[in-house]
Amino acid sequence: MAVDLLLGLQWGDEGKGKIVDVLTSNYDIIARFQGGPNAGHTLVFNGKKHVLHTIPSGIFHDGTINLVGNGVVIDPVIFKGELDKLEAQDVDYRKSLVISRKAHIILPTHRLLDAASEASKGKAKIGSTLKGIGPTYMDKTGRNGIRVGDLELSDWKERYRALADKHESMIAFYDVDIQYNLEELETEFFKAIEVLKSLKFIDSEEYIYQAQKTGKTILAEGAQGSLLDIDFGTYPFVTSSNTTAAGACTGLGVAPNQIGEVFGIFKAYTTRVGSGPFPTELFDEDGATMSRVGNEFGATTGRPRRCGWLDLVALKYACQVNGVTQLMMMKGDVLSGFKTLKVCTAYKYKGDIIKHFPYNIEPENVEPIYTEVDGWQEDLTEMSETSQLPKALNEYIEFLEKELEIPITIVSVGPDRKQTIFRS
Ligand code: IMP
């Protein structure tokens, strides 16, 4: 069986967790392939909200295997916190959660290094979630990292000490005021490591290969969004992993010709958290309405998200880089009440009109060109069928499908599992 992918097409926070949860009943295995606790995947069902950071969003379904792939970076302390919450809800994760030996571990000093690096950048800061993501991937590519499989080796603590000592000298090099008590952080860390070690470690590429051979269905769950990709995102205001489709191949050990459907998730408008260019950002009442109605605050950091109109130039680029085969539109309900909506369909770039995503999208280089469409007034949150959707929303959807040349197969009208409309 081919491996299907589910990815965010904007700057993250598109609602991937909800859709993975909705689709999980179609899959035997849900696999995370990149990122780490910088992610916050929100699921709502039975009147309760759940936020996952590292654990795949299939964890609440009995009988589904949840796999943390080699491309993921794991903070044992945050991971333990997630497990504690699952345990409190009687979720039996021991049978259903497996972890790649090749996944890298976020050390307490990685988090401190992240903070020191950001503090040293001043106004040019990335707006990182400060979870240690960048420094951990730096140690991975610098071939210094500690992997989950190392925890099974006798000398891993010596390697830990050497790396943590090196990090401390790097923190001092930054010459910024970072207060910390490493001893305390390490006590918590080593306690969490013991919990991690009680879980099932696997050679995930072999596991997935065998699962495919025996006809198991697999969904790879992306984190962050395509515009935060280390190569194709708005560098340097990006995360440190490949969030795009290719990242699923390297982050799980799946060959490119084994990829099936590519589900692309996007919001009916655009949001971004952290620094970096955002051509369609709004600083007016419309942006404030999206923020308020959409409850646009980061699931991991609680920071307010910046809001703006849908940017089809950026969305088309993301569809292209990922090879998206089906689109899923989230938060259409948030736009109810706007008389007209704007959609960016081209950029004015250094005097020319362009339709592709250029190297520089800073305000001095790019001015969005908008097409105006009718808004809708109806409350969508109780709707459950395409036939109930307002005419203007159907026209909005058809307009996007025509521009992007990809079908929109799901329209989400609220955070709950049940608030999901399937389009044929
Ligand atoms: P980092 O990955 O924590 O280093 O953050 C780098 C950039 O990516 C910052 O602008 C973050 O706000 C953004 N970012 C990281 N993870 C997420 C996410 O899950 N959703 C939205 N933005 C994210």
pLDDT in tens, 166-215: 999 999 999 899 999 999 999 999 999 999 999 999 999 999 999 999 99
Domains 3-102+200-262 and 267-422 share a fold: no
Distance 283 CA to ligand 1 centre (A): 21
How many whole angstroms separate alpha carbon 12 and alpha carbon 6?
A: 12
Q: Report domain extents, the chain.
A: 3-102+200-262, 104-196, 267-422
On the CB side of 25, how many CA atoms lie within 13 Å of its CA?
2
Per-residue pLDDT of 378-407, as tens digits, reads 999 999 999 999 999 999 999 999 999 999
Q: Strand pairing partners for 73?
A: 104
Transcribe 285-333 into DSSP letters.
Answer: HHHHHHHHHTT-B-TTT-PBPEEE-EEHHHHHHHHHHHT--EEEEE-GG
Q: Is 18 annotated as a binding residue?
A: yes
95 assigned to active site = no
Distance 38 CA to ligand 1 centre (A): 6
Q: Is 16 annotated as a binding residue?
A: yes
Instruction: Find the residues whose C-beta lies inside 6 A of ligand 1.
Output: 11-13, 38-40, 126-129, 131, 133-134, 223-224, 228, 237, 239, 273-274
Radius of gyration of the chain (CA): 21
In terms of CATH, what superfamily is 267-422?
Adenylosuccinate Synthetase, subunit A, domain 3 (3.90.170.10)
Token reading at 260: 């099936």
pTM of full prediction above 0.95 = yes
User: Are the beta carbons of 52 and 17 closer than 8 angstroms?
Assistant: yes
Q: Pick the catalytic residue from 80, 102, 104, 140.
A: 140
User: Apex CA 142: angle with CA 174 and CA 221, to 5°?
Assistant: 100
Amino acid of residue 269: Y
Say whether pLDDT at 299 is over 90. Answer: no
CATH fold of 104-196: Adenylosuccinate Synthetase, subunit A; domain 2 (1.10.300)
How many Cβ atoms are within 10 Å of 75's Cβ, its own excluded?
27
Q: What is the pLDDT of residue 301?
A: 86
User: Are the beta carbons of 91 and 59 closer than 8 angstroms?
Assistant: yes
Q: What is the pLDDT of residue 424?
A: 80
Distance 238 CA to ligand 1 centre (A): 7
Token reading at 33: 């392939």
Backbone φ/ψ region at 377: left (φ over 0), alpha (ψ -120 to 50), beta: alpha
Q: CA dihedral defined by 364, 368, 369, 374, rounded to 10 degrees?
A: -150
Q: What is the pLDDT of residue 86?
A: 96
Q: What mean pLDDT comes out for the span 396-421? A: 97
Percent of the chain scoring above 90 in pLDDT: 97
Q: What is the pLDDT of residue 130?
A: 96
How many whole angstroms separate alpha carbon 320 and alpha carbon 272?
A: 20
Q: Is 414 annotated as a binding residue?
A: yes
How many whole angstroms separate alpha carbon 17 and alpha carbon 37?
A: 14
Write the CB contacts of 349 (distance below 8 Å, at least 6 apart in sequence). 358, 365, 366, 367
- The answer to whether the Cα torsion of 374, 376, 381, 387 is positive or negative is negative
110 assigned to active site = no
29-32 and 73-74 strand pairing: unpaired
Per-residue pLDDT of 18-63, as tens digits, reads 999 999 999 999 999 999 999 999 999 999 999 999 999 999 999 9
Say whether pLDDT at 314 is over 90. Answer: yes
Closest C-alpha to ligand 1, atom 20:
12
Write the CB contacts of 157 (distance below 8 Å, at least 6 apart in sequence). none
Q: Which of 319, 216, 301 is nearest to 10 (CA)?
A: 319
Distance 63 CA to ligand 1 centre (A): 31
Q: Which of 215, 231, 300, 264 is nearest to 407 (CA)?
A: 264
Selected from 3.30.1540.20, 3.40.440.10, 3.40.980.10, 3.40.190.10, the CATH number assigned to the domain covering 3-102+200-262 reads 3.40.440.10
User: Are the beta carbons of 64 and 58 closer than 8 angstroms?
Assistant: yes
Closest C-alpha to ligand 1, atom 12:
274
Q: Tell which one of 121, 228, 300, 330 to mutate to probe ligand 1, the residue whose CB is within 8 A of the most ligand atoms.
A: 228
Q: Strand pairing partners for 410?
A: 328, 422
Per-residue pLDDT of 124-171, as tens digits, reads 999 999 999 999 999 999 999 999 999 999 999 999 999 999 999 999
Q: Pick the catalytic residue from 13, 75, 229, 311.
A: 13
53 assigned to active site = no
Closest C-alpha to ligand 1, atom 4:
128
Token reading at 368: 């969005």
